[in-house]
Structure 1
Protein backbone atom coordinates (compact mmCIF):
# COMPACT_ATOMS: atom_id res chain seq x y z
CA UNK A 1 0.00 0.00 0.00
CA UNK A 2 2.83 2.36 0.80
CA UNK A 3 4.43 1.58 -2.55
CA UNK A 4 1.25 2.51 -4.50
CA UNK A 5 0.89 5.70 -2.49
CA UNK A 6 4.47 6.70 -3.28
CA UNK A 7 3.89 6.18 -7.00
CA UNK A 8 0.78 8.36 -6.91
CA UNK A 9 2.63 11.16 -5.12
CA UNK A 10 5.52 10.90 -7.56
CA UNK A 11 3.09 10.92 -10.52
CA UNK A 12 1.31 13.99 -9.12
CA UNK A 13 4.61 15.77 -8.53
CA UNK A 14 5.84 14.92 -12.02
CA UNK A 15 2.53 16.01 -13.51
CA UNK A 16 2.66 19.26 -11.54
CA UNK A 17 6.18 20.06 -12.76
CA UNK A 18 5.27 19.20 -16.36
CA UNK A 19 2.22 21.46 -16.17
CA UNK A 20 4.28 24.24 -14.60
CA UNK A 21 7.01 23.86 -17.24
CA UNK A 22 4.41 24.02 -20.04
CA UNK A 23 2.91 27.15 -18.46
CA UNK A 24 6.22 28.90 -17.77
CA UNK A 25 7.60 28.24 -21.24
CA UNK A 26 4.43 29.26 -23.04
CA UNK A 27 5.01 32.06 -25.54
CA UNK A 28 2.64 34.50 -23.82
CA UNK A 29 4.37 34.21 -20.45
CA UNK A 30 7.81 34.71 -21.94
CA UNK A 31 6.58 37.66 -24.02
CA UNK A 32 5.06 39.19 -20.91
CA UNK A 33 8.29 38.73 -18.94
CA UNK A 34 10.30 40.36 -21.70
CA UNK A 35 7.81 43.24 -21.90
CA UNK A 36 8.03 43.82 -18.14
CA UNK A 37 11.84 43.84 -18.21
CA UNK A 38 12.04 46.15 -21.22
CA UNK A 39 9.28 48.33 -19.74
CA UNK A 40 11.25 48.70 -16.51
CA UNK A 41 14.41 49.63 -18.39
CA UNK A 42 12.47 52.04 -20.61
CA UNK A 43 10.84 53.58 -17.51
CA UNK A 44 14.31 54.18 -16.04
CA UNK A 45 15.42 55.91 -19.25
CA UNK A 46 12.33 58.13 -19.32
CA UNK A 47 12.64 58.93 -15.60
CA UNK A 48 16.26 59.93 -16.13
CA UNK A 49 15.25 62.11 -19.09
CA UNK A 50 12.65 63.86 -16.94
CA UNK A 51 14.71 64.17 -13.73
CA UNK A 52 18.12 64.91 -15.23
CA UNK A 53 17.33 66.91 -18.38
CA UNK A 54 13.79 68.25 -18.72
CA UNK A 55 13.12 69.27 -15.11
CA UNK A 56 16.46 71.01 -14.37
CA UNK A 57 16.84 72.62 -17.79
CA UNK A 58 13.27 73.66 -18.61
CA UNK A 59 10.63 73.25 -15.91
CA UNK A 60 12.48 74.16 -12.70
CA UNK A 61 13.79 77.51 -14.02
CA UNK A 62 10.29 78.45 -15.17
CA UNK A 63 8.68 77.51 -11.87
CA UNK A 64 11.49 78.92 -9.71
CA UNK A 65 10.60 82.46 -10.76
CA UNK A 66 8.48 82.59 -7.62
CA UNK A 67 11.69 82.94 -5.61
CA UNK A 68 11.94 79.63 -3.74
CA UNK A 69 12.30 76.00 -4.73
CA UNK A 70 8.71 75.09 -5.50
CA UNK A 71 9.34 71.39 -4.75
CA UNK A 72 10.08 72.22 -1.12
CA UNK A 73 6.75 73.99 -0.52
CA UNK A 74 5.02 72.72 2.64
CA UNK A 75 1.61 73.73 3.95
CA UNK A 76 0.21 72.98 7.34
CA UNK A 77 1.80 70.35 9.54
CA UNK A 78 4.01 68.45 7.11
CA UNK A 79 1.83 68.45 4.00
CA UNK A 80 4.45 68.49 1.23
CA UNK A 81 2.46 70.14 -1.53
CA UNK A 82 5.58 70.92 -3.61
CA UNK A 83 6.68 67.30 -3.64
CA UNK A 84 3.21 66.17 -4.70
CA UNK A 85 3.03 68.79 -7.45
CA UNK A 86 6.50 67.75 -8.63
CA UNK A 87 5.35 64.16 -8.91
CA UNK A 88 2.36 65.27 -10.99
CA UNK A 89 4.60 67.32 -13.29
CA UNK A 90 6.96 64.32 -13.65
CA UNK A 91 4.01 62.07 -14.52
CA UNK A 92 2.68 64.45 -17.17
CA UNK A 93 6.10 64.77 -18.79
CA UNK A 94 6.64 60.98 -18.73
CA UNK A 95 3.17 60.44 -20.22
CA UNK A 96 3.91 62.94 -23.01
CA UNK A 97 7.26 61.35 -23.84
CA UNK A 98 5.69 57.88 -23.89
CA UNK A 99 2.87 59.17 -26.10
CA UNK A 100 5.34 60.54 -28.65
CA UNK A 101 7.49 57.40 -28.60
CA UNK A 102 4.51 55.05 -29.02
CA UNK A 103 3.02 57.27 -31.71
CA UNK A 104 6.31 57.15 -33.63
CA UNK A 105 6.51 53.35 -33.34
CA UNK A 106 2.90 53.03 -34.54
CA UNK A 107 3.64 55.18 -37.60
CA UNK A 108 6.69 53.09 -38.45
CA UNK A 109 4.67 49.90 -38.00
CA UNK A 110 1.91 51.20 -40.29
CA UNK A 111 4.48 52.03 -42.98
CA UNK A 112 5.88 48.49 -42.74
CA UNK A 113 2.38 46.98 -42.96
CA UNK A 114 1.55 49.07 -46.03
CA UNK A 115 4.82 48.09 -47.70
CA UNK A 116 4.18 44.41 -46.94
CA UNK A 117 0.61 44.60 -48.23
CA UNK A 118 1.74 46.23 -51.48
CA UNK A 119 4.60 43.80 -52.02
CA UNK A 120 2.62 40.57 -51.56
CA UNK A 121 -0.14 39.76 -54.05
CA UNK A 122 -3.44 38.50 -52.71
CA UNK A 123 -4.56 34.86 -52.97
CA UNK A 124 -7.04 35.81 -55.71
CA UNK A 125 -4.29 37.47 -57.75
CA UNK A 126 -2.09 34.40 -57.34
CA UNK A 127 -4.92 32.09 -58.42
CA UNK A 128 -5.78 34.27 -61.42
CA UNK A 129 -2.14 34.34 -62.47
CA UNK A 130 -1.86 30.56 -62.11
CA UNK A 131 -5.07 30.01 -64.12
CA UNK A 132 -3.85 32.36 -66.84
CA UNK A 133 -0.52 30.55 -67.11
CA UNK A 134 -2.27 27.17 -67.12
CA UNK A 135 -4.67 28.32 -69.85
CA UNK A 136 -1.80 29.67 -71.94
CA UNK A 137 0.10 26.43 -71.52
CA UNK A 138 -2.89 24.28 -72.50
CA UNK A 139 -3.59 26.47 -75.54
CA UNK A 140 0.01 26.23 -76.67
CA UNK A 141 -0.08 22.39 -76.37
CA UNK A 142 -3.31 22.17 -78.37
CA UNK A 143 -1.91 23.96 -81.43
Structure 2
Protein backbone atom coordinates (compact mmCIF):
# COMPACT_ATOMS: atom_id res chain seq x y z
CA UNK A 1 0.00 0.00 0.00
CA UNK A 2 1.47 3.31 -1.12
CA UNK A 3 0.17 6.44 0.67
CA UNK A 4 1.00 9.81 -0.88
CA UNK A 5 -0.16 13.19 0.45
CA UNK A 6 0.54 16.31 -1.58
CA UNK A 7 -0.62 19.87 -2.09
CA UNK A 8 -3.03 19.91 -4.98
CA UNK A 9 -4.83 22.19 -7.40
CA UNK A 10 -7.19 19.33 -8.25
CA UNK A 11 -10.12 20.83 -6.39
CA UNK A 12 -12.62 18.58 -8.14
CA UNK A 13 -10.99 15.48 -6.63
CA UNK A 14 -11.08 17.12 -3.19
CA UNK A 15 -14.68 18.24 -3.62
CA UNK A 16 -15.77 14.77 -4.76
CA UNK A 17 -14.26 13.24 -1.60
CA UNK A 18 -15.87 15.89 0.59
CA UNK A 19 -19.26 15.40 -1.06
CA UNK A 20 -19.09 11.65 -0.49
CA UNK A 21 -18.18 11.96 3.20
CA UNK A 22 -19.95 15.12 4.31
CA UNK A 23 -23.07 15.22 2.13
CA UNK A 24 -23.76 11.57 1.31
CA UNK A 25 -22.51 9.97 4.55
CA UNK A 26 -23.02 12.65 7.20
CA UNK A 27 -26.01 14.54 5.78
CA UNK A 28 -24.42 17.98 5.53
CA UNK A 29 -26.51 20.14 3.17
CA UNK A 30 -24.74 20.31 -0.21
CA UNK A 31 -25.24 24.07 -0.45
CA UNK A 32 -23.06 24.73 2.62
CA UNK A 33 -20.33 22.15 2.04
CA UNK A 34 -18.40 24.44 -0.32
CA UNK A 35 -17.58 27.97 0.80
CA UNK A 36 -15.55 31.07 -0.02
CA UNK A 37 -12.45 29.66 1.71
CA UNK A 38 -12.02 26.96 -0.94
CA UNK A 39 -10.66 29.60 -3.33
CA UNK A 40 -7.92 30.76 -0.93
CA UNK A 41 -7.10 27.57 0.99
CA UNK A 42 -4.17 25.24 0.56
CA UNK A 43 -5.67 21.86 -0.34
CA UNK A 44 -4.04 18.51 0.38
CA UNK A 45 -5.00 15.30 -1.38
CA UNK A 46 -4.23 11.87 0.06
CA UNK A 47 -4.03 8.89 -2.26
CA UNK A 48 -3.59 5.19 -1.67
CA UNK A 49 -2.04 3.38 -4.61
CA UNK A 50 -2.89 6.41 -6.77
CA UNK A 51 -6.58 6.55 -5.83
CA UNK A 52 -7.91 9.68 -4.02
CA UNK A 53 -8.97 8.61 -0.52
CA UNK A 54 -8.80 11.73 1.67
CA UNK A 55 -8.43 15.47 1.72
CA UNK A 56 -8.02 18.47 4.01
CA UNK A 57 -7.56 22.19 3.60
CA UNK A 58 -5.63 24.88 5.43
CA UNK A 59 -6.75 28.48 5.68
CA UNK A 60 -4.06 30.83 7.04
CA UNK A 61 -5.08 33.90 9.00
CA UNK A 62 -2.40 35.82 10.86
CA UNK A 63 -0.45 33.45 13.09
CA UNK A 64 -3.06 30.68 12.82
CA UNK A 65 -3.50 27.92 10.30
CA UNK A 66 -7.02 26.52 10.43
CA UNK A 67 -7.33 22.92 9.29
CA UNK A 68 -10.73 22.09 7.89
CA UNK A 69 -12.83 19.87 5.64
CA UNK A 70 -10.81 16.85 6.76
CA UNK A 71 -12.25 13.64 5.37
CA UNK A 72 -11.20 10.08 4.60
CA UNK A 73 -13.31 7.63 2.63
CA UNK A 74 -14.68 4.71 4.70
CA UNK A 75 -12.47 2.18 2.85
CA UNK A 76 -9.32 4.01 4.07
CA UNK A 77 -10.33 4.53 7.70
CA UNK A 78 -8.18 2.68 10.18
CA UNK A 79 -5.17 2.70 7.84
CA UNK A 80 -3.43 5.69 9.45
CA UNK A 81 -4.31 7.89 6.49
CA UNK A 82 -6.24 10.40 8.61
CA UNK A 83 -3.35 10.91 11.03
CA UNK A 84 -0.91 11.18 8.12
CA UNK A 85 -3.16 13.80 6.53
CA UNK A 86 -3.21 15.91 9.72
CA UNK A 87 0.58 15.57 10.09
CA UNK A 88 0.96 16.74 6.48
CA UNK A 89 -1.19 19.78 7.28
CA UNK A 90 1.01 20.54 10.30
CA UNK A 91 4.14 20.16 8.14
CA UNK A 92 2.70 22.59 5.59
CA UNK A 93 2.06 25.14 8.34
CA UNK A 94 5.50 24.64 9.87
CA UNK A 95 6.98 25.82 6.56
CA UNK A 96 5.31 29.23 7.04
CA UNK A 97 7.20 31.21 9.71
CA UNK A 98 4.13 33.40 10.34
CA UNK A 99 2.00 30.47 11.47
CA UNK A 100 2.62 29.53 15.11
CA UNK A 101 -0.54 27.60 15.91
CA UNK A 102 -2.99 25.24 14.30
CA UNK A 103 -6.71 25.21 14.99
CA UNK A 104 -9.59 23.05 13.85
CA UNK A 105 -13.23 22.49 14.59
CA UNK A 106 -13.41 18.80 15.49
CA UNK A 107 -16.55 16.74 15.36
CA UNK A 108 -16.97 15.65 18.97
CA UNK A 109 -16.75 12.00 17.93
CA UNK A 110 -13.18 12.70 16.70
CA UNK A 111 -11.85 14.55 19.78
CA UNK A 112 -9.72 11.58 20.90
CA UNK A 113 -8.21 11.23 17.42
CA UNK A 114 -7.05 14.86 17.45
CA UNK A 115 -5.87 14.71 21.07
CA UNK A 116 -3.50 11.86 20.07
CA UNK A 117 -2.04 14.28 17.49
CA UNK A 118 -1.40 16.93 20.16
CA UNK A 119 -4.50 19.10 19.83
CA UNK A 120 -6.16 20.46 22.97
CA UNK A 121 -9.91 21.16 23.18
CA UNK A 122 -11.04 24.66 24.09
CA UNK A 123 -14.27 26.57 24.44
CA UNK A 124 -17.81 25.30 24.35
CA UNK A 125 -19.35 22.72 22.06
CA UNK A 126 -21.03 24.22 18.98
CA UNK A 127 -23.21 23.01 16.15
CA UNK A 128 -21.87 22.98 12.60
CA UNK A 129 -24.25 21.64 9.95
CA UNK A 130 -26.17 19.71 12.60
CA UNK A 131 -23.04 17.98 13.93
CA UNK A 132 -21.60 18.81 17.40
CA UNK A 133 -18.07 20.24 17.24
CA UNK A 134 -15.41 21.58 19.58
CA UNK A 135 -12.55 23.91 18.70
CA UNK A 136 -9.08 22.46 19.22
CA UNK A 137 -5.65 24.09 19.16
CA UNK A 138 -2.04 22.97 18.83
CA UNK A 139 1.02 25.16 19.21
CA UNK A 140 3.53 24.57 16.41
- TM-score normalised to the size of structure 2? 0.23
Higher share of residues assigned helix: 1
Higher share of residues assigned strand: 2
**Which protein is bigger by CA-based radius of gyration?**
1
Higher RCO (CA-CA < 8 Å; seq separation 6+):
2
